[in-house]
């Protein structure tokens, strides 16, 4: 049998609602396009930084990453989760190629 690591990345473009949890953590719940719910616990400090980054960037995208955990009532748990907010850079039109004769 071949062993594999089950890692997951959940991308979002609006801040999800969070609930306070034990041990200075918050619980993030995200639902994918198929209706599957993922629940992750992240450090409250990391979440506050993510909120600040989202407020500072005009365009941004976010991601929760971690290991796919056990199934729960309506989806899956994400263990060892982390959250990041990335600034989206506006794409500049490609410069037209200059032909030299």
Per-domain residue ranges for the chain?
15-82
Q: What is the pLDDT of residues 17-60, one digit of tens each?
A: 899 999 999 999 999 999 999 999 999 999 999 999 999 999 99
pTM of the predicted model, to two decimals?
Answer: 0.80
For residues 43, 49, 50, 53, the Cα torsion angle rounded to the nearest 10 degrees is: -170
- When comparing pLDDT for 8 and 99, which is higher? 8
Please report the pLDDT score of residue 98 as a whole number.
54
Cα distance between residue 46 and residue 97, in whole Å:
44
């Amino acid at each position: 049998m071949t062993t594999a690591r089950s890692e997951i990345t959940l991308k979002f473009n609006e801040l999800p609602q969070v609930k306070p949890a034990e041990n200075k953590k918050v619980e993030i719940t995200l639902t994918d396009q198929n209706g599957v719910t993922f629940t992750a616990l992240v450090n409250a400090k990391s979440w506050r930084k993510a909120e600040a980054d989202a407020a500072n960037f005009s365009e941004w995208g976010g991601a929760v990453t971690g290991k796919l955990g056990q199934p729960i009532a309506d989806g899956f748990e994400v263990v060892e989760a982390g959250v990041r907010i990335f600034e989206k850079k506006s794409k500049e039109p490609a410069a037209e190629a200059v032909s030299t004769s």
